[in-house]
């Protein structure tokens, strides 16, 4: 593909990202599936351009407005700004790419030419930018993030705007860390043990895993190290009754299944619950590949579910990894930061409280409820924990270092009553976890 064709592909993908709800990876996979002529180098370049624009969106928009032009921020104008500000492309070079040739972007309008000229040679980040612009987060989160990290905001947000590594979880139902690592190496894939999770591997770079023996045999699952740790802190063991209450795509369900394994099979009972039958259907082939067919999937009602009522007080462990704003996963979906509002967070808080109320009813005396989010915001984390404990005095929070020693091993990376993970502090996605025991 020519440079112009690659740029046009990025523009088309940006249009799709900003007009739909599908995850970026799914959009790009679908886009390239229809364009088999795009080689691996083309895909890497297009992918990099796409993510660069998404990670720089607030600063690009600030500069577009700063020029005083009547142009609205959009795929073309943001690409033009990205070329001028970050790639240092001269107006003549930009004009040469926007040439209207086959598969290339249409020629620049007069206003777009002026935009390219006005931005050429300027820095992407400017001292006059307010924090939400310079650090790429929504205005409505400013108070929450400033309160959370009064001294570390720039460090934390900058780390959250970098590409994430590829982490793998070893399926201990079927393999061991050493065996899996050697298998990957035989397929020319280098991986190192993750710093915190004893069952994780981190790839040295990008790799196609689907064709590897380790993947075909069900020995590995792509899963961020932080997500692996949440599953381990649940403390699922052979012989237990365990519920993954918001199973979603099933990543933590599979990790719980492996933790309950004895001699290559699940010992105990494990349910993957969700209000979406579509999400649960997608788990089934993953369970089969991982040798975890014994896991039971259960579609539950959002309110007053009969299965939940029938199983009240029977479970040893209930993991409630609740829906949230997803701020901790911005490295993987940088556009997600612009898709939620303060009203959305208020709605999410209400949903989280409803889920916690249902999930806690399943826990038996002496059992544990694990509350987790992939959010960084205290409103969804510490404040929700305080609300829950105030309304459910039969639960007590457990010190996270105690739980960590029991389940993961060794001291936890951050100290405190709950676990907080972030790209800057632990090299993982952002997660929150609190473990509560029922009296």
Q: Which fold has domain 230-438?
A: Rossmann fold (3.40.50)
pLDDT at 206: 85
Quick one: which of 341, 322, 372, 349 has its CA closest to 137?
341
Distance between CA atoms of residues 356 and 320, nearest Å = 7
pLDDT at 41: 87
Question: How many DSSP H helices and E strands does the chain contain?
Answer: 20, 14
Lowest mean pLDDT among 14-18, 132-136, 199-203: 14-18
Instruction: Select the more confidently predicted residue: 141 or 32.
Output: 141
- Judge whether residue 415 has pLDDT over 80: no
Contact of 241 with 316, CB cutoff 8 Å: yes
- Judge whether residue 384 has pLDDT over 90: yes
Instruction: Select the more confidently predicted residue: 4 or 34.
Output: 4
The two tokens of residue 418 are 């709950």
* Domain positions in the chain: 3-130, 167-222, 230-438
- Judge whether residue 367 has pLDDT over 80: yes
DSSP string, 346-407: HHHHHHHHHHHHHHHTTEEEEEEEEEEES---GGGTHHHHHHHHHH-TTEEEPPHHHHHHHH
Quick one: average pLDDT of 7-34?
87
The pTM score is 0.95
In which band, very low, low, confident or very high, does the pLDDT at 389 lie, cut at 50, 70 and 90?
very high
Quick one: which of 69, 80, 70, 140 has its CA closest to 105?
80
In which band, very low, low, confident or very high, does the pLDDT at 332 lie, cut at 50, 70 and 90?
very high
pLDDT at 20: 77
DSSP string, 194-262: -SS-TTEEEESS----TTSHHHHTT-EEE--HHHHHHHHHTT--TTEEEEETT-TTSHHHHHHHHHTEE
The two tokens of residue 367 are 């059992």
CATH number for the segment(s) 167-222: 3.30.70.1170
- Judge whether residue 21 has pLDDT over 70: no
In the predicted model, what is the mean pLDDT of the chain?
Answer: 95
Instruction: Select the more confidently predicted residue: 370 or 210.
Output: 370
pLDDT, tens digit (0-9, with 9 covering 90-100), for 335-346: 999 999 999 999
pLDDT at 378: 97
Distance between CA atoms of residues 439 and 436, nearest Å = 10
pLDDT, tens digit (0-9, with 9 covering 90-100), for 39-52: 888 888 999 999 99
Kindly give, in sequence order, each residue whose CB lies less than 8 Å from that of residue 400, ignoring residues fewer than 6 positions away: 233, 412, 416, 417, 418, 419, 433, 434, 435
In which band, very low, low, confident or very high, does the pLDDT at 34 lie, cut at 50, 70 and 90?
confident
- Judge whether residue 274 has pLDDT over 90: yes
Kindly give, in sequence order, each residue whose CB lies less than 8 Å from that of residue 149, ignoring residues fewer than 6 positions away: 155, 156
Quick one: average pLDDT of 407-428?
90
Q: Is the dihedral of CA 168, 171, 172, 174 positive or negative?
A: negative
Quick one: average pLDDT of 66-75?
92
Pairing mode, strands 395-397 and 431-438:
antiparallel
Distance between CA atoms of residues 65 and 150, nearest Å = 29
- Judge whether residue 398 has pLDDT over 70: yes
Contact of 366 with 437, CB cutoff 8 Å: yes
Quick one: average pLDDT of 192-217?
94
- Judge whether residue 200 has pLDDT over 70: yes
What distance separates the 2 farthest-apart alpha carbons in the chain?
72
pLDDT at 37: 81
Lowest mean pLDDT among 32-36, 214-218, 289-293: 32-36
B/e letters for 204-214, b = 16+ CB within 10 Å, e = fewer, are eeebebeebeb
In which band, very low, low, confident or very high, does the pLDDT at 412 lie, cut at 50, 70 and 90?
confident
- Judge whether residue 219 has pLDDT over 80: yes
Quick one: which of 366, 21, 375, 352 has its CA closest to 230?
375
| 129: exposed, middle or buried (Cβ count in 10 Å: 0-12, 13-18, 19+) | middle
**Can you tell me whether residue 269 is helix, strand or coil?**
strand
Cα 225 to Cα 179, 217, 222, 425, distances in angstroms: 19, 21, 9, 13
């Amino acid at each position: 593909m020519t440079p112009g064709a690659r740029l046009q592909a990025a523009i088309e993908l940006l249009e799709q990202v900003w007009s739909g709800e599908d995850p970026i990876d799914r959009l790009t996979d679908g886009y390239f599936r229809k364009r088999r002529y795009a080689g691996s180098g083309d895909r890497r370049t297009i992918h990099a351009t796409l993510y660069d624009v998404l990670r720089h969106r607030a600063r690009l928009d600030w500069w577009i407005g700063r020029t005083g032009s009547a142009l609205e921020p959009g795929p073309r104008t943001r690409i033009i700004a990205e070329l001028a500000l970050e790639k240092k492309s001269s107006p003549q070079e930009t004009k040469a790419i926007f040439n209207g040739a086959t598969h290339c972007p249409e020629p620049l309008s007069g206003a777009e030419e002026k935009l390219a000229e006005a931005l050429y040679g300027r820095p992407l980040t400017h001292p006059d930018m307010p924090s939400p612009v310079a650090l790429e987060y929504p205005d409505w989160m400013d108070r929450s993030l400033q309160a959370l990290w009064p001294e570390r905001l720039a460090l934390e947000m900058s780390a959250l705007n970098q590409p994430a590594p590829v982490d793998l979880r070893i399926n201990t139902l079927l393999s061991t860390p050493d065996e899996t690592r050697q298998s990957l190496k035989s397929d020319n894939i280098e991986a190192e043990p993750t710093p915190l999770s004893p069952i994780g591997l981190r790839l040295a770079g990008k790799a196609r895993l689907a064709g590897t023996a380790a993947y075909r045999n069900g020995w590995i699952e792509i899963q961020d190290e932080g997500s692996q740790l949440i599953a381990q802190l649940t403390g699922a063991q052979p012989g237990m009754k365990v519920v993954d209450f918001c199973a979603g795509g099933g990543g933590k369900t599979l990790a719980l299944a492996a933790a309950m394994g004895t001699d290559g099979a699940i010992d105990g009972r494990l349910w993957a619950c969700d209000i979406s039958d579509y999400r649960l259907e997608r788990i089934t082939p993953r369970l089969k590949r991982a040798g975890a067919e014994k896991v039971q999937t259960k579609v539950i009602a959002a309110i007053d579910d009969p299965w939940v009522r029938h199983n009240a007080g029977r479970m040893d462990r209930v993991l409630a990894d609740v829906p949230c704003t997803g701020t901790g996963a911005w490295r993987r979906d940088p556009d997600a930061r612009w898709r939620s509002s303060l009203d959305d967070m208020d709605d999410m808080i209400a949903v989280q409280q409803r889920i916690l109320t249902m999930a806690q009813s399943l826990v038996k005396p002496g059992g544990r409820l694990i509350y987790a989010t992939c959010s960084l915001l205290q409103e969804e984390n510490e404040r929700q924990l305080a609300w829950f404990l105030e309304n459910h005095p039969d639960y007590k929070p457990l010190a996270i270092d105690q739980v960590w020693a029991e389940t993961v091993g060794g001291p936890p990376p951050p100290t405190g009553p709950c676990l907080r993970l972030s790209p800057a502090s632990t090299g993982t996605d952002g997660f929150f976890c609190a473990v509560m025991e029922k009296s």
